[in-house]
C-alpha cells in the first residue's frame, strides 16, 4: 500500500536510506541522515505541496519516494526532481515502479510538466529502471560527484508528464 509519509516514518526511512548513503555512490550525500532531518524533509515537501510517499507491506515500510522542484526560482516551478529508494528485500518486486507512478500522478495532478531523475552513471540498475519507465537520457555531467575517493558522472533522465 502506498500512502503519504508521516514524520513518524523517519526511522524506517532512515533504515532504508542510510545504508545506501553510507555504502554506495548511488547518492553523493556524504553522511547518514538523522531521523529529525528526515522528518523535516517530509514535513517541508508536503508543506510545499510536493509528494513524499512510502510503500508498506505487512506493516513494514519497504520503500519511499519524493519529489521537489528541480532547481530554485520561478522558471523551474513545473520541473520536478524525484528520489526513490527501495529496501533490498523489496527490489525487483514492483515497489519502485509503483512509487514512481504515484509520484508522476501526483506531479501531473499538481500541474507539473517534467519529472527528472539525477542518477549516478555507474548505477546501471537505476538507468535501466528509468528507461523501462519511459525516461530518456537528457544529459550527463562528467565528474559531477565525489565519493569514496573518486569522481562519478551524473546522468539526468527525464520524462515529459504532459506527453
Question: In order along the chain (163 residues), what is the average pLDDT of each group of 10 residues?
Answer: 98 98 96 98 97 98 98 95 98 97 99 98 97 98 98 99 95
Question: Residue 106 sits in a domain of what CATH number?
Answer: 3.40.630.30
Global confidence as pTM: 0.95
User: What is the Cα–Cα distance from 46 to 43, expressed in whole angstroms?
Assistant: 5
163: in domain = no
Residue 4: what pLDDT? 98
* Cα atoms in the Cβ-side hemisphere of radius 13 Å centred on 87: 15
Report the domain count for the chain.
1
32: in domain = yes
23: in domain = yes
What grid cell was written down for 105?
500522478
Residue 114: what pLDDT? 99
What grid cell was written down for 44?
517541508
What grid cell was written down for 69?
522542484
Residue 52: what pLDDT? 99
- In sequence order, the β-bridge partners of residue 141 are 154
Q: Give per-residue pLDDT as tens, 35-79.
A: 999 999 999 999 999 999 999 999 999 999 999 999 999 999 999
92: in domain = yes
What grid cell was written down for 57?
507491506
156: in domain = no
96: in domain = yes
Residue 11: what pLDDT? 98
Range of the domain at 98: 2-117
**Contact of 81 with 139, CB cutoff 8 Å:** no
**Contact of 53 with 84, CB cutoff 8 Å:** no
59: in domain = yes
Helical axes 35-47 vs 10-23, angle rounded to 10°: 110
149: in domain = no
Long-range pairs for 34-40: beta carbons < 8 A, 24 or more residues apart:
35/10, 35/11, 36/10, 38/10, 38/13, 38/14, 39/7, 39/8, 39/10
Amino acid at each position: 500500500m502506498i500512502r503519504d509519509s508521516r514524520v513518524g516514518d523517519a526511522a524506517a526511512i532512515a533504515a532504508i536510506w542510510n545504508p545506501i548513503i553510507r555504502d554506495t555512490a548511488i547518492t553523493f550525500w556524504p553522511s547518514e541522515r538523522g531521523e529529525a532531518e528526515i522528518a523535516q524533509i517530509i514535513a517541508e515537501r508536503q508543506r510545499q505541496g510536493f509528494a513524499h510517499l512510502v510503500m508498506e507491506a505487512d506493516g513494514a515500510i519497504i520503500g519511499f519516494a519524493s519529489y521537489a522542484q528541480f532547481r530554485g526560482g520561478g522558471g523551474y516551478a513545473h520541473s520536478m526532481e524525484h528520489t526513490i529508494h527501495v529496501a533490498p528485500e523489496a527490489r525487483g518486486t514492483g515497489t519502485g515502479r509503483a512509487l514512481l507512478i504515484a509520484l508522476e500522478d501526483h506531479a501531473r495532478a499538481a500541474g507539473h510538466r517534467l519529472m527528472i531523475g539525477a542518477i549516478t552513471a555507474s548505477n546501471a540498475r537505476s538507468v535501466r529502471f528509468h528507461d523501462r519507465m519511459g525516461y530518456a537520457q537528457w544529459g550527463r555531467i562528467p565528474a559531477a560527484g565525489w565519493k569514496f575517493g573518486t569522481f562519478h558522472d551524473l546522468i539526468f533522465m527525464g520524462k515529459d508528464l504532459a506527453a
